[in-house]
């Protein structure tokens, strides 16, 4: 019963218990291990989640792991932003459907790098992802330092957002960021 709660706490002692649950042949205990590791508060379990996403026998367990990879990728836990983006990109490669990919695009907004903008830009041209990609581009642009240090790239991206989106709030924000406000 307590195994999923251990996942929210994290740490080495909790991981021992969670790993035991994951290795269990009892389906209910194994599932509790999946829930626990999917609730982990940082990316220390990323490799385990990737393995579950690739190899677990149950599709639902794979889905939970894929979503967890995307959730933990940008978490502030001492990793470099480049490492966060790399994990997010791994999660996006594993993503199995539009919903998962849109979630990954949304989570990218927390990784404040010009490389993140470059990663998100191609999604602007894909109708099933363009709405979320527009939001992420504008959210990345909110970071004045990032925007100012990469002015040409951000202005071009914001112009594209303005041309694509029908969301008046996003258009207003994009215009303000282009004006340096």
Nearest to 114 by CA among 79, 74, 141: 141
Q: Cα separation of 145 and 94, whole Å?
A: 32
pLDDT at 1: 74
**Cα end-to-end distance, the chain, whole Å:** 51
- pLDDT tens sequence for the chain (181 residues): 788 899 999 999 999 999 999 999 999 999 999 999 999 999 999 999 999 999 999 999 999 999 999 999 999 999 999 999 999 999 999 999 999 999 999 999 999 999 999 999 999 999 999 999 999 999 999 999 999 999 999 999 999 999 999 999 999 999 999 998 8
**Predicted pLDDT at 154:** 97
Cα–Cα nearest to 100, from 130, 69, 78: 69
Q: What is the per-residue pLDDT for 161?
A: 98
Predicted pLDDT at 121 = 98
pTM over cut 0.85: yes
């Amino acid at each position: 019963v307590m195994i999923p709660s251990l996942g929210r706490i994290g740490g080495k002692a909790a991981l021992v218990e969670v790993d035991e649950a994951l290795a269990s042949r009892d389906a209910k205990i194994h599932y509790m291990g999946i829930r626990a590791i999917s609730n982990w508060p940082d990316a220390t379990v990323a490799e385990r989640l990737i393995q579950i996403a690739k190899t677990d026998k149950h599709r639902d367990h794979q889905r939970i792991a894929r979503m967890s990879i995307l959730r933990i990728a940008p978490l502030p836990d001492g990793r470099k932003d480049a490492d966060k983006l790399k994990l997010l990109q791994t999660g996006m490669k594993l993503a199995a459907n539009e919903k998962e990919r849109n979630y990954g695009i949304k989570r990218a907004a927390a990784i404040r790098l010009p490389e993140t903008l470059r990663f998100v830009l191609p999604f602007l041209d894909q109708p099933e992802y363009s709405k979320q990609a527009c939001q992420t581009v504008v959210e990345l642009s909110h970071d004045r330092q990032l925007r100012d240090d990469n002015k040409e790239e951000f202005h071009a991206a914001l112009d594209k957002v303005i041309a694509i989106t029908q969301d008046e709030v996003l258009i207003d924000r994009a215009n303000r960021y282009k004006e340096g406000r």
